[in-house]
Amino acid sequence: MARCRDREGTQEWIGGLYERVFDGSLKLAPIPNTPYNIPNMQLRIATINLMAPAGLFLPWGDRANGLARALAGHQPDLIGTQEDTPESLEDLSRGLPGYGVLGRGRWADGGGIQCAVLYRQDRLKLGKSGHFWMSETPDTPGSKLTGMGSARVATWGVFHYEGRTLTLLNVHFSHLSRREQARILLRRLSKLPRPWLVTGDFNSTPWPIWSAHRVLSTHLTDLAADAGSTWNGGLNLPLARLDWILGSREIRGSGSQVLRQGKSDHWPVLVDVNIA
């Protein structure tokens, strides 16, 4: 379940003015600004934290069909999911026929919850794909940053559409070391084909000094900035905007919304994008 504020976040705020993201010491590989001289690509993107199917609180069996219906009614081309398992993805896929699934568990043996990507196979063809972990050794399965409670896996895929190529990367940040996770994400993203889309639950609101948003926005645009709160805490109340859809500079959002449908502790977010 997402957390908005925590002691670690407060400590980061106290020392925030001295963080590398503000003093200029953050070093990333140069990111090219490649022009695209072919017609725009129009896609619909979604992100949703499914809420891990465990315990008696909002049991998955009571939620699966509603979430699938909420998404199917809008027919997203790409869906980034968080806190999913093979079983919950199988249930979701039954309500979303025609979608391919790309994912892997966060543990070293491939088990555990995933950050899967679903894609419309009638619109998109999957090319290269992979996973990495939020750690000092991102290519080591099951690894994690020092002091982080659980491993966090990210999933990416390169998709082809009508002669065009784009990369989607899907994440679920820990509430600990959020800015460092953002730096790991950007370093990996810089090695993948543009244009880029990033979906996920970032366990952080956009505005605080300690937010991952401050780091990511140096290279990515928030495509759902006006969509409103996405985390409801399982109470169906708009509590915070923790779920974002970001894009590289050649991507423009043409409309976004939060779907207050389906039972989870997060609501789905949708963005229509034009890719120049």
Residues 244-269: tens digit of each pLDDT: 999 999 999 998 998 887 778 888 89
Looking at residues 117-129, what average pLDDT do you find?
98
Q: Establish if 106 belongs to a structural domain.
A: yes
In a domain, 181, yes or no: yes
221 pLDDT band, cuts 50/70/90, is very high
pLDDT-based confidence at residue 228 (cuts at 50, 70, 90):
confident
Nearest to 58 by CA among 269, 264, 266, 241: 264
* Residue 18 belongs to a domain: no
Q: Please say if the pLDDT value at position 75 is more than 70.
A: yes
Q: What is the pLDDT of residue 55?
A: 58
**What residue spans of 6-78 are helical by DSSP H?**
7-14, 20-23, 64-72
Given this model, what pLDDT does residue 9 score? 42
pLDDT the model gives residue 46:
97
Sheet containing 117-120: which strands, arranged edge to edge? 99-102, 117-120, 78-82, 41-49, 269-275, 251-258
Enumerate residues 6+ apart whose C-beta is below 8 A from 129: 102, 155, 156, 157, 158
Among 55-64, 141-150, 265-274, whose mean pLDDT is lowest? 55-64
Token pair, residue 246, equals 């970001």
Order of strands, sheet of 125-133, starting from the edge strand that comes earlier in the sequence: 125-133, 153-161, 164-172, 196-201, 243-247, 221-222
Which range is least confidently modeled, 17-31, 134-148, 179-193? Answer: 17-31
Q: Per-residue DSSP letters for 50-66?
A: ---S-SSSS-GGGTHHH
Residue 16 domain-assigned? no
* Residue 15 covered by a domain: no
Count how many domains the chain has.
1
Query: What pLDDT is recorded for position 231?
Result: 78
- pLDDT surpassing 50 at residue 31: no
Residues in the chain: 276
Is the previous residue joined to 195 through a cis bond, with omega within 30 degrees of 0? Answer: yes
Provide the CATH number for the domain around residue 151. Answer: 3.60.10.10
Nearest 5°: CA angle at 20, between 18 and 22?
Answer: 70
With cut-offs at 50, 70 and 90, classify the pLDDT of residue 215.
Answer: very high
Could you say which DSSP state residue 46 is in?
E
Structural domain boundaries, residue 225? 39-275
Q: Looking at residue 56, what is its pLDDT?
A: 55
**84 inside domain:** yes
Closest residue by Cα to residue 251 from 221, 214, 217, 216: 221
139 pLDDT above the threshold of 60 = yes
Residue 99 lies inside a defined structural domain of this protein: yes
pLDDT of residue 87: 93
Give the confidence band of 39 by pLDDT, cuts at 50, 70, 90. Answer: low
Q: Specify if 200 maps to a domain.
A: yes
Backbone angles phi, psi at 238, to 5 degrees: -75, 100
* CB-CB contact of 259 with 210 (8 Å): no
